[in-house]
A and B are shown apart, each in its own frame.
Chain A
Amino acid sequence: MKNTLVLFFLLSTFLIYQYASAQSGPRYVKGLSVSLLAEPKNGSTVVNKLERGAAVTQETEQGFWAKIVTPQGTGWVPKLTLSASPPAAQESLMDKKVDISSNARKRASNFTSAGSARGLNESKADFDKANLKADFAALKKMESFYVSPQKALRLLGAM
């Protein structure tokens, strides 16, 4: 009886551990060129740099930090720089037509959203009709200020 209980305990522990590991699953580096640090604090020694999309195994966490194991070494990164699924490619509105659904109001017919199919400028008239003032020229200007994350990382070394 004693043997059975010990065996039951060991097997339960093993299976629960296996299950917990499977649930946490692999983690992926979401940030660009993330520093793998020796300790969970800024200013700590950089063990290596991790590229976006790299699959890693999370061992443990401490506050805002996660301890991970990678082929480049073991160390700490901010938890926010990891995600449970591989990072998606950047979306572009020009790629495809999209329908938007919402419970704002029920409507029977399908309608392709304006951004892709009709062009943003064309939808200005719709805004006017709906008594909503919109400035699409200013929106374009805002988009012209765009700085890519890669460029931001480069610039801040030189700014």
Chain B
Amino acid sequence: MKKLIIMASMIITFLLPAIGATTTTDTVNEDARKRLHQLNDGGYTQDDVQAEIDFGKKLAAGILGKTTILANKKMNSYVNTIGSLLVSQVGRPELRYHFAILDSDDVNAYACPGGYIFVSKGALKLMKNEGQLAGVLAHEITHVNQRHIVKQLNIKAKDDSLNSNIAAVVGGGSTAFFTMLNQGMDLLFTDGLKREDEYEADAIGLEMLTALGYNVRSYYDFLEEVKRSNEQHKDQVMNKTHPSMDSRLERIKLIMTQNGLHQLNGNTNQPRFSKYVTL
């Protein structure tokens, strides 16, 4: 018995560091680091979030410098309400999400950092129900939640304590700030986000629709409709900034099959959609 106890002690001594158990010193250091940088979800500080909102606001103003908001308060309020419904369950609690309909016949949607989201009148015209609208908004909300533009442009607050040599400080009015804004506009209108970011936005968007009880198939149907529209209007298409619609549809179908989403009878809320979206 004594031999066994000695053996057990030796094993514990050997195994603890091997499996990376946290020591008291580690905990103290970790706490200090958290206090120092005000870490929130994902390692971003409050100042990083502020920087993101500030940048997103100006990028949104840039989009509105190109295209006006559709003059229909009722319809804009409806889109905001559906967007906020999604946000109520799956949004980043530290952000205020804003939505607007762009008065453009192009079929498109855009997401700026900080929660500024646009959907075009052309896209709404193609939609048949609320499930489809929720699908498009969920895709755009995911771009915000996953910080796709923030990561691509490396938008963060200045952190004096890091003495980082990669962080150049820019702000409103500086040439560098506008270089970054122009890069943001290019990402949205010309270059597009990374393909994997688009696929991720589709995948998490489907998960959001499920979480909110929407019919997931609606989003697939909408993208098929966009694909058909693209073939007719090759100059006004969503895939200026997105990967091919075929590859997206294929991946969405796979996710739906893997998660048994074909069998779900979620909500489409078609009557409510028709009441508010009158184009």
Report A's interface with B, CB cutoff 8 A. Answer: 3-4, 7-8, 11-12, 15-16, 19, 22, 30-34, 41-43, 52, 63-64, 78-81, 83-85, 87-91, 93, 95-96, 98-107, 109-118, 120, 123, 126-127, 130, 132-136, 138-139, 141-143, 145-153, 155-156, 159
Contact = CB atoms under 8 A, between A and B. Distances in A.
Interface stretch (B120-128, B177-185, B217-225): B177-185
B168 A105 contact: yes
A88 B46 contact: yes
B88 A91 contact: no
Given A102-B176, A112-B172, 14 more contacts: A3-B4, A4-B4, A32-B89, A34-B89, A52-B93, A88-B46, A93-B57, A117-B172, A132-B178, A135-B68, A145-B76, A145-B80, A152-B88, A153-B88
Given A102-B153, A142-B100, A111 B210 contact: no
Contacts of A100: 51, 54-55, 155-158, 169-171, 177, 180
B93 to A, nearest CB: 4
Given A78-B89, A135-B65, A156 B81 contact: yes
A126 B211 contact: no
The prevalent SS among residues of B at the interface is helix
A104 B153 contact: yes
B204 interface: yes
Chain B interface size range: 35 or more
Interface in B1-47: 4, 7-8, 11-12, 15-16, 19-22, 40-41, 46-47
Given A87-B93, A142-B64, A112 B210 contact: no
B21 A93 contact: no
Minimum-distance CB pairs A-B, first 4: A114-B172, A111-B171, A78-B211, A149-B88
Nearest to A100: B51
Contacts of A41: 264
B194 to A, nearest CB: 17
12 contacts: A11-B8, A78-B90, A79-B207, A81-B89, A81-B90, A85-B40, A88-B46, A100-B54, A113-B54, A142-B98, A148-B84, A153-B88
Nearest to B62: A134
Contacts of A139: 57, 60-61, 64
Contact of B88 (A32, A88, A93, A116): A32
A134 B43 CA distance: 32
Contacts of A142: 60, 64, 69, 98-100, 116
